[in-house]
Amino acid sequence: MGLLDNLGGSLKGVLGDVEAAAVPALINSVLAKTNLGDLQGLVTQLQQNGLGPQVQSWLSDGKNMHVTPDQLRAALGNAQVQEIARHFNLPVDAALKLLAEHLPNAVDQASPSGKIEKAA
């Protein structure tokens, strides 16, 4: 049974990696349905509304700074947050939690040269 347990754990790890790799595309597709347009639009809004240091850490080499759901709510505003949540088909708090958890890596992955590259 030990071998099957190890195989199951490995499979979960691979599936987790695949899921994590899909999150940036999911975020971008949701943003395309909002007036933000894409990841760059979201990043610009966050930079203009007090999260410049966090965003800069995501765009540059080095450790990504953490962002909280409350910080995202404050930077985006209630109407924008509700629109994003609606497109994620999630409650507002769950959508903010998802963004807070995955946005730093999504921006980091989309900006290997320090600027967000448009998806092909």
Mean pLDDT of the chain: 83
Average pLDDT over residues 1-10: 45
Structural domains in the chain? 2-110 (1.10.10.690)
Burial of 16-45, coded b for 16+ CB within 10 Å and e otherwise, reads eeeeeeebbeebbebbeebebebbbebbeb
User: Model-level pTM?
Assistant: 0.78
Q: Look at residue 62 in the predicted model and tell me its pLDDT.
A: 87
Q: Look at residue 14 in the predicted model and tell me its pLDDT.
A: 42
Please report which confidence band the pLDDT of residue 21 belongs to, taking 50, 70 and 90 as the band edges.
Answer: low
Q: Could you read off the pLDDT of 42-52 as tens digits, one per residue?
A: 999 999 999 99
